[in-house]
Structures are given as C-alpha cells and as structure tokens.
Copies of this chain bind each other. A is one copy, B any other.
Amino acid sequence: MRTEGGIPPHDGMSAGPRKRFVKKRRPVSAADLAKEIRTGSRLALAKGITLLESRSPEDRKDSQELLLGLLPDSGNSVRIGITGVPGAGKSTFIESFGLMLAEAGHKVAVLAIDPSSTVTGGSILGDKTRMEELSRHPNAFIRPSPSSGTLGGVHRKTRETMLLCEAAGYDVILIETVGVGQSETAVRGMADFFLLLVLTGAGDELQGVKKGIMELADGIIVHKADGDNVTPAKRTAREYKQFLRMLQPATPGWQTTVHPVSSFAGTGLEDVWETILGFRDSMSVSGEWDKRRREQLKAWFRQSIEDRLIESFYASEGRKNEVERLEGKILDGRLTVTAAVEELFRG
C-alpha cells in the first residue's frame, strides 16, 4: 500500500507483524467469534471490536457478518448517555457509578464518542489513569473511543461496539461524550436515558452548559455535592428544577429529574440508578422506550446515507479547492449561491 505521492504510510513499520496476527486469527470465522462473544468472553469481545474498527475491506465484511449474527442477542441493556460541563468530574462519576453497579452484579460497559479524536488522532479515554478501579473489575469493560476516522465513522463504531457488548451480556452501557462539538447529539441519538453533569453555582447563568444541551437531558446531576458543597448543591438542584419546569421535557411523558451526587462520598448514586429504572419501566409501559429505539435506528440509517453522500462529495482535493474558490467569490459579492451550486454540479 502506498499513499499518494509515494510517501510510505504512517504505520508502515507495524504493517508486517499486524498482518501476521490477522492471518493467525483469520481461521476463526465470524460465526465462531459470535459464539465466543455470546459466552461473555472478554477476549472475544475485544477481538470483535478490533474487527469492527478495522479499515480493511475483508475485515469490514467479516465484521458485518459478525454483527448480523449477534443482532438478535443485542438490545437487552439500559443505554445511558453521559455528558457534563467542563470540570464536572465525568470520569469520577462513571467510576463510582459503574463500580456500584458492577458490585451489584451488573455487567457494565463504558464507551465514548469523541469527534475531536478525528482531528487530534488522540483518545482521551485511552488515558490509563482514568477509571482505574472500574477497569480492573471483572464485571466492567472499558473501551477507549475509536481513535481515528470521520465523525460518521466514530459514531458507527461506537454504536456497533454497543451492540457487541450487549450480545456479550453487558446490561448497562455508559456512553460518554468526550471532546467538543456534536458529541452530545450523537450520544443522545444512541442512548435511552441521557444524563447531564453540572456543578453548583448555577445562579445567574447555567455555568458552562452548552446551548441546547439542557433540553436533551432526562436527568441532571449536581456533582461534587460533598463537604461544604452539600448545601449549595441542594440549592442549585432546586434552581435547576425550577428552570426545568419552563422547558419541554427531553422525553415525552417524563419530567427531567435533578440529583445532588457525590462520587467521592458515594451519596446519590443509588437514587440516580433507581430513577433510571423507573424511567425504563414507565417508558416501556407507554411504548416510548421501543419507539425511541426504532426512531434512533432509522435516524442512524438516514444520517449514514447523508454522511456518505457528503463525504464522497468532498473526498477529492480538487472538489474541496473548487468549493473554497467559489465560496470566496460569493463572499466578495461576485457570485450568487445558486449559480455557484449550479457550477459545482455541472462540472
């Protein structure tokens, strides 16, 4: 494989050994791997996810076969999306919340959507110092955010990883938003229940809450409600409750809840979990639970089609330059938008 211009690929050094490894595991068929994943083997699950993330056409084919085989076993979990204002302590919350559930016998998977990783190539969840205790728990499975690819690609990998985890018996999926941009919408689009972590001191303005995020939340956690902060956190929770009465709920028929929580002291965590179970029960009765999942699936499909169209359109360097050239002329008042679009699609 060669990139344009003859420059060797970035990971050229490792191509050899990796290929051998791939060859070694090739004899394991998708059906066999699916069987192993169903038994709950963490090794098989990790293998399956690696397959999903591979960009080789052959692996992609295998991974779709694997996924299709596991679809009937997926879906039996509570999918909890988690976002927060900067400094809200998301990792600490996930560690404590996840440990509480894992100790109670739940199987907990932690995934992440990180659109910023498409730019930096980095993976914040890959940082090994985070969620140290949870990551060692036999009932927990932590998967770093896919570290590269387009936003659509990262989104796809996280969704498919979630399905694989469910097939492996994980009944609580925590999907964390990482980085900036559209990760909240992406996570909302794959979660049953969406949690927003905030800090005390809402007062005059909801400190750091991005525009429109409040409307996505089914539950709000006022975090770090410990020590001297207990009383302010309770006051902030009241303020949020008042504020939320003015908004339409994120889920029809559900009034967004507010919870003071201390991950440090372990207080409020059970309350959050019971609320989520209550949500699942009443939404299952009303039919909203299944309806949302079906709508999410449809939206994922429609969005994937649009992403694919837009990606292929901008795939060529020449096309990108052409769009920028036309944009410059539009901004200078030398071309109309309509004429620019017609020029693009005629060419």
Contact = CB atoms under 8 A, between A and B. Distances in A.
A60 B335 CA distance: 14
Interface string A302-330: 00111011101100000000010011001
A337 interface: yes
A32 interface: no
Interface stretch (A8-16, A42-50, A338-346): A338-346
A interface SS class: helix
A234 interface: no
Given A64-B339, A215-B212, A339-B64, A327 B305 contact: no
A64 B304 contact: no
Contacts of A71: 333-334, 336
A77 to B, nearest CB: 15
Contacts of A308: 341, 345
A327 to B, nearest CB: 6
A323 B305 contact: yes
Contacts of A300: 337
Contacts of A340: 301
Interface string A141-158: 000000000000000100
Given A71-B333, A294-B331, A337-B297, A246 B205 contact: yes
A226 interface: no
Contacts of A130: none
B341 A304 contact: yes
Contact of A313 (B210, B309, B338): B309
Contact of A64 (B68, B334, B338): B338
How many monomers of this protein are in the complex?
Answer: 2
A336 B64 contact: yes
Contacts of A312: 345
A67 B304 contact: no
A265 interface: no
Interface in A78-95: none
Interface residues of A, number: 53
A25 interface: no
Contacts of A298: 327, 330-331
Interface centre among A294, A298, A305, A309 (most CB of B within 10 A): A305
A341 B305 contact: yes
A72 interface: yes
A204 B301 contact: no
Interface in A182-237: 202, 204-206, 209-212, 215
A330 B305 contact: no
11 contacts: A156-B338, A160-B336, A204-B246, A205-B247, A212-B212, A297-B330, A298-B331, A300-B337, A301-B326, A304-B341, A309-B313
Interface of A: 60, 64, 67-68, 71-72, 156, 159-160, 202, 204-206, 209-212, 215, 243, 245-248, 294, 297-298, 300-301, 304-306, 308-310, 312-313, 323, 326-327, 330-331, 333-342, 344-345
Given A64-B339, A68-B335, A308-B341, 14 more contacts: A60-B342, A64-B336, A159-B337, A205-B247, A205-B248, A206-B246, A211-B247, A212-B212, A297-B337, A298-B327, A305-B341, A305-B344, A306-B309, A309-B309
Sort A-B residue pairs by CB-CB distance and give the 3 closest, nearest first.
A64-B339, A309-B309, A71-B333
